[in-house]
Chains A and B, each alone.
Chain A
């Protein structure tokens, strides 16, 4: 049985994703997310007794590229769709504390 998604779990996931949730969303999301997880419970009913566990969805291997530089974008191109810039930096809300 999958975990029940209650308001606390939704608030936790929202916090991890840096999303502020409205009261309206807090009312609708628990039910919706619980439905999604219940769908996975349905899959659990399948008999996978003799099936090797799958670790990767793509049946390719060793797709590697040589270490040869290509042309990068110019700062103007890179920053073209950015909401805000400061010189050639992406400008974002002030972050404090840890990090580089």
Chain B
């Protein structure tokens, strides 16, 4: 609990490592494939054989620049590579190729949604490209096994300013970044496959009796799920405040500086990590093997064209153009493909409202079951357009449309053919509907009596008769028409 005399502000900056979805590695053309058998995607370059020469992956540079441009970063004319020296078995060269003083992207921002419906801008200090390390296997008794498949996979490190002040803001920023890199199609951003890893820097600014105290900054290493990111930040908030209460003068940034901690997922606590001795003494030096990258306006423009409309711009357009609520517009702009399908259907003449209802109705429900995006359930523009038009023309009612929707996702069939085959087309033949209504009345004299008496149970019985007609038509009768005919007959 926070003492009423204290004003406590949480300060968080976040480093996010994003693995880029290139086919090949950063400096050699071995495959960038998660989950392959150990040491099958390795060559002389990524095993660091003497005398080998790294060559940059052009697509990885493009992908990184796209992220930078989308974050409104400055993508400078000149960028170069440096060696970050440290010794660990998963890094056979003894240095990691990275970017030190001249990164590919700097000074941008990312807008995140807040719970109260407003937005907040989180500043991005820099984003630089580097190579991932290999993987250590600790399951071998008495030794460590090294798999170099991941060594050299392109990694974009995005570093924010310490602009986040709550667990929700940290989560919002991380999720917004995931959405952005997926939108740009530069990373699958799959947490289970380690495509995104987080390292928050956390401390507190506490004001008591007019004096402001700063707690030591804690960097929590290697978090690879949103849950552990949120857990680590929440835990540090509590832990640092309690530590500070015990010793307000001693537990300070000035006295203790920066510390590294790890996160124990099972216990939900951060644990002290013995400072890797001189961990920050990386002795960066320019890499002589890799020439500089010179970027001109033509290059930047080509990538801006490829990026096209960004999520926030599209969301604003949906609210404006299609008259959607913020919530619906936001749900449709979680990825690029879903909105692309919607826009193409509207362009092909479908009614935007009906398309949106279909996508956010059964579409979102199926996506939720499958834990994928709406586009990824496999709906095509043609299917959406046709089904929306059938609804508009009264060829199917809403219930039938949902059935058609499910079946067209299941079978990849055309909506009209499915509706015909399954008898889901609305019956426009009034004579036929009349017949069903007459049958229902004839077979259920009890219900008819109740309705004619006009008592409390009247509406319930009316609903029962409606149901009988709909059942007889196998859902194909237009409900409004059935209701009208029933009321006429029973009044």
Contact = CB atoms under 8 A, between A and B. Distances in A.
Interface of A: 12, 15-18, 55-58, 60-70, 72-75, 78-79, 84, 86-95, 97-100
A98 B294 contact: no
Given A87-B38, A100-B136, A61 B145 contact: no
Interface string B30-51: 1100000111111110010000
Given A69-B24, A98-B273, A17 B58 contact: no
B399 interface: no
A99 B90 contact: yes
A86 B39 CA distance: 12
Contact of A100 (B60, B61, B86, B135): B135
B38 A16 contact: no
Given A65-B57, A100-B133, 15 more contacts: A16-B85, A55-B286, A55-B292, A62-B294, A63-B55, A67-B23, A67-B24, A78-B42, A87-B38, A89-B39, A90-B148, A93-B143, A98-B221, A98-B262, A100-B90
Interface of B: 22-24, 29-31, 37-44, 47, 55-61, 78, 80, 85-90, 94, 102, 133, 135-138, 140, 142-148, 221-222, 260, 262, 273-274, 276-278, 281, 283, 286, 288, 290-294
Given A56-B292, A64-B55, A87-B38, A99 B136 contact: yes
Contact of A73 (B42, B87, B140, B262): B42
Contacts of A12: 278
B286 A67 contact: no
Contacts of A67: 22-24, 29, 57-60
B90 A89 contact: no
Given A69-B30, A72-B31, A90-B146, A62 B291 contact: yes
B222 A100 contact: yes
A72 B36 CA distance: 12
20 contacts: A55-B102, A56-B288, A60-B291, A61-B292, A62-B293, A63-B291, A64-B55, A64-B293, A65-B56, A67-B59, A68-B23, A69-B30, A70-B29, A72-B31, A74-B40, A88-B147, A89-B39, A89-B146, A90-B89, A93-B143
Contact of B144 (A17, A57, A58, A95): A95
Contacts of B262: 98
Contacts of B222: 98, 100
A72 B39 CA distance: 9
A97 B274 contact: yes
A77 to B, nearest CB: 9
A69 B29 contact: yes
